Structure 1
Amino acid sequence: MYNRLKIILFALLFPLVMVAQDSTKTKSGKTSVSKKAKEVEQTLSKSNPEATADKYVELANELDKKGDYAKAEDYLKRALPIYQKQKNKDKIASTTRSIAQMQEKQNKVKEAIVSYQSASEEAVDVGYSRVNSNDASRLQNKSPKVQAEYLDSNIKILENNGKLDDAAEAYKQKAVVDLKSENKEMAIENYEKAIAVSKDKPEEVLKLKSEISKVYASENNLDKAIEITKNTISEAEKIGSVSQQIEQQQTLADLYFKNENQDDAIVLLEETYNLALKNGRTFDAKKAMLALSDYYREKGNQAKAIELYDQFLNDFDRMIQADSSLVDAKIFQVTEEKIKQLEKERALKDELITKKNKFNYVLIGSVILMLILLGLIAKALFSIKKKNKKIALQSLRREMNPHFIFNSLNSVNQFIAQNNELEANKYLTSYSNLMRNMMETSNKDFISLANELEQIKKYLDLEHLRFQDKFKYEIKVDEKLDTDAILVPNMLIQPHLENAIWHGLRYRETKGKLKVTFTEENQLIKVSIEDNGIGVEKNKELKTQNQKVHESRGLNNVEERINLLNDLYHQQISYTISSGSDGNGTLVTLYFSKTTKVV
């Protein structure tokens, strides 16, 4: 009958609690868990990844204090990828270690080992890496003695590095190992050491003292356990920790029952119920009421047990109105839903950004590829165009060679006709030397000035053999010109020398003069070819139609070559033809860029 009443009563109570949560939301303050959850929500809405990760960790710490290790692990795992993306090694290591600790508290040993090993690998600090490695080894080893050795090593490292929270946790773990080994004295000592390094955390100290009380109680040293618990209650009152005061009073009541001190236990439970009622702690009040009702039921006082239930129901509305923990649970639940929604929105946004970035990368890559292809095509076309121009230049240059060869053969023929074998032989020797030199440079667009001067001299010597009585020549080169370094266009001067001799000087009745001068003017090489032949105008009168066509083609050849050289090699080549300085003869002036290297 009593058990059925108990079940029905609490089946009715639980929905009322849920309704009360909604109705009291605005009247209750937020606890640390819901507050931290709200902060997570705010950072998510501001799209601040690092701040969000930090708030995830803070929320996980609060959940750890509440004993909700699964949720704490979940939020730590949400923070970890953000730190990994930012490559924050310190936070990656500390968060991974926290995940391992939550997994260990849930007895997920294999997962905890992997997490500790990962934290060890990520840690920048050698000592911190060793601590995590020790914890992984500790979980892999079942021997309490070996586990204690790993914990001792960790404690030393952590205390030296000032990580007192982790050191306190290591002392607690060592106390648990001692209890497994039935070494309760050492367990108490390690709890006391944990208290010493946790002195700045009063609530943690109270929990550690409660653990010491449990050790004494397990040894049946109830008086010592009661003494410690009483002190703990007094300290809880001093720091204003209602939750610890209620918890320790319930523990003390259990100790009183074990010590056959039922009257003190009942009084203490009633005080605990009233304290919970006053501070709106519904579940603590329920726990105290159940302990009392169980006691009365065991004593056969069913009426008193039912009276306690009635009292609880009468106080229920008042407790619900004042119970912030119930409201906090609902607020946290609602906030968690918002967090999940914001995370989904962020994930969707990140996915869209990733897709957009991929599209942009593909587009940019395609544009770059197209530009490269266009560049290669343009380069190929430019190269082909340049090669065509070079071929055209060589073709034009080679046009001059047959003409020169035919003139030379005519000269040889003339010497043979005159039975002047000695002169013919001498002419052929000079001709062969000149041709050899010209053939060696026939594939070059530019040759050194020294080489060009040598060719000019050989050519003029050759022509002088034929027209000894018609002209003499003079070549003058400015001493400032470095003839070996300066480059000039190949076979561009020779046609003008040929014109001066064949169309000017050879028609003179007396011996004429041909003067070739090389100087520098305005950073250009100036070549002056001056003769005192019959002159341009008179020469035109004497020419046949065939000669006019030939000379026109020769000048066109020179002009085309100059245009190609200027285009291909960015030169400043030009020439002018005018009457001589005394009004007779012809003056040809050529200008070349002062070039020492052709690209």
Structure 2
Amino acid sequence: MLATSTTSLLQNLSVSLFSKILLIEQANLQSVVETQNEQIQRTLLYALIPVVVGFSFIVFVIYRAKRESLFRQKEAEFKLSLAESELKMLRSQINPHFIFNCMNSIHHYMHSHDTAGAADYLIKFSQLIRHVLETSSQRMVSLADEVESLKNYMQLEQLRMNNAFEFNVEIHKEIDPEQIHIPPMLLQPFIENSIWHGVNHDGKTGKINVMLGIKDDRHVQCIIEDNGTKPVEKMSHDLSHVVKKTSLGIQLIHQRMETINQLYQSEAGFMLEDRLNEQKQILGKRTTVTLPFED
């Protein structure tokens, strides 16, 4: 009886001890699992931090690039607007300079009492002024219109100077003057320079040749040659003796070309040089003008 009770007690103690050990093991296992879960979560968190930082950096770079692109676009638009305003201002300065020279010629006819010549001159002058007024607000004009205006101007100067010079305008066959468009009123001051400073007044007939051709796929080239070998003195009837006049023509053209280069990203420019023979004697002047064009 005693042995049976002892055996039963030992069994109960064993079961109780086993249960406690099992509970302890379960608790330890649960703790290990929780620890592992925490480690896994921590590892995932550490792994996600670089991803989040990298993604945030990419978003920041994209945002900054778009912001800088928008800023550059606005800056470019502002510069274009400013360049166009400067271009209009320069054109408005060139026109009075050009008109003054024509009025000077009309004054010559009045001075010499040649009413018929004055009437003929006024008709051509009105045609020329119409061209100036129509093109002063235009960004580009056809080469045909610009050449026609140059011919009109040279005819006016021929009348004023009693046919002291001859002129010829040659357009290369590769150019369609109706399709090519160039900035207006840029060639006239160089023609004026050849007439006023390049044509001799010593009895020798002056000659002016104007040659137009394609320089490259973005520019046309105009070469103006004359046979003048000495400066021309002002005549007594020249209005610049009595009217204050600054030599603006070439100076304004230089400024306008700089603005055009900014506006069109072009390489407009000009070069003045002497024409020499083999003996290094001056035969005349040559002006090479490069202008952007559009089809």
- TM over 0.5: same fold? yes
Taking the aligned partners of 2:7 and 2:145, their CA distance within structure 1 comes to 126
Higher helix share: 1
Residue 584 (str. 1) matches residue 279 (str. 2):
no
Taking the aligned partners of 2:93 and 2:168, their CA distance within structure 1 comes to 27
Aligned-pair CA distance for 1:498 = 0.6
Give the AA of the match of 2:189: P
Taking the aligned partners of 2:202 and 2:186, their CA distance within structure 1 comes to 25
Taking the aligned partners of 1:376 and 1:589, their CA distance within structure 2 comes to 40
TM-score, normalised relative to structure 1 = 0.41
Residue 487 (str. 1) matches residue 181 (str. 2):
yes
Give the AA of the match of 1:561: R
Q: Is the 8 A contact 1:467 1:506 kept in 2?
A: no
Residue 562 (str. 1) matches residue 261 (str. 2):
no
Taking the aligned partners of 2:187 and 2:41, their CA distance within structure 1 comes to 78
Give the AA of the match of 1:532: N
Q: Given the alignment, which residue of 112, 118, 127 partners 1:424? A: 118
Aligned-pair CA distance for 1:347 = 4.3
SS in 2 for 1:457: helix
Q: Given the alignment, which residue of 438, 442, 456 partners 2:136? A: 442
> Deviation per CA, 1:3-51, whole angstroms, max 9, x where unpaired?
xxxxxxxxxxxxxxxxxxxxxxxxxxxxxxxxxxxxxxxxxxxxxxxxx
Aligned-pair CA distance for 1:561 = 2.2
Residue 412 (str. 1) matches residue 106 (str. 2):
yes
**Structure 1 segment 466-545 matched on structure 2, within 5 A:** 466-505=160-199, 507-521=201-215, 524-533=219-228, 535=229, 538-539=230-231, 542=233
How many residues are aligned here? 283
Label 1:465 to 1:351 Cα distance change in 2 as closer, same or farther (>3 A). Answer: same
Give the AA of the match of 1:558: I
Residue 596 (str. 1) matches residue 290 (str. 2):
no
Aligned-pair CA distance for 1:514 = 1.4
Listed as ranges, the gaps of 5+ residues in structure 1 are: 1-302
Listed as ranges, the gaps of 5+ residues in structure 2 are: none
Taking the aligned partners of 1:415 and 1:577, their CA distance within structure 2 comes to 32
Q: Is the 8 A contact 1:471 1:511 kept in 2?
A: yes
**Does 1 or 2 have the higher relative contact order (CA < 8 Å, sep 6+)?**
2
SS in 2 for 1:438: helix
Q: Is the 8 A contact 2:220 2:290 kept in 1?
A: yes
Give the AA of the match of 1:424: A
Aligned-pair CA distance for 1:504 = 2.5
Taking the aligned partners of 1:493 and 1:309, their CA distance within structure 2 comes to 131
Instruction: Give aligned-pair identity as a percent.
Output: 25
Label 1:493 to 1:357 Cα distance change in 2 as closer, same or farther (>3 A). Answer: same
Taking the aligned partners of 1:543 and 1:317, their CA distance within structure 2 comes to 137
| Residue matched to 1:457 | 151
Aligned-residue RMSD, C-alpha = 3.8
Give the AA of the match of 2:149: Q
SS in 2 for 1:503: helix
Q: Is the 8 A contact 1:473 1:514 kept in 2?
A: yes
**Structure 1 segment 288-303 matched on structure 2, within 5 A:** none
Taking the aligned partners of 2:25 and 2:119, their CA distance within structure 1 comes to 120
Q: Is the 8 A contact 2:97 2:249 kept in 1?
A: no
| Residue matched to 2:86 | 392
Label 1:327 to 1:510 Cα distance change in 2 as closer, same or farther (>3 A). Answer: same
SS in 2 for 1:580: strand
Higher strand share: 2
Label 1:371 to 1:571 Cα distance change in 2 as closer, same or farther (>3 A). Answer: same
Taking the aligned partners of 1:506 and 1:390, their CA distance within structure 2 comes to 39
Taking the aligned partners of 2:246 and 2:200, their CA distance within structure 1 comes to 17
Give the AA of the match of 1:556: Q
> Deviation per CA, 1:540-583, whole angstroms, max 9, x where unpaired?
7x479x89x944x4332222222222233221223222223653
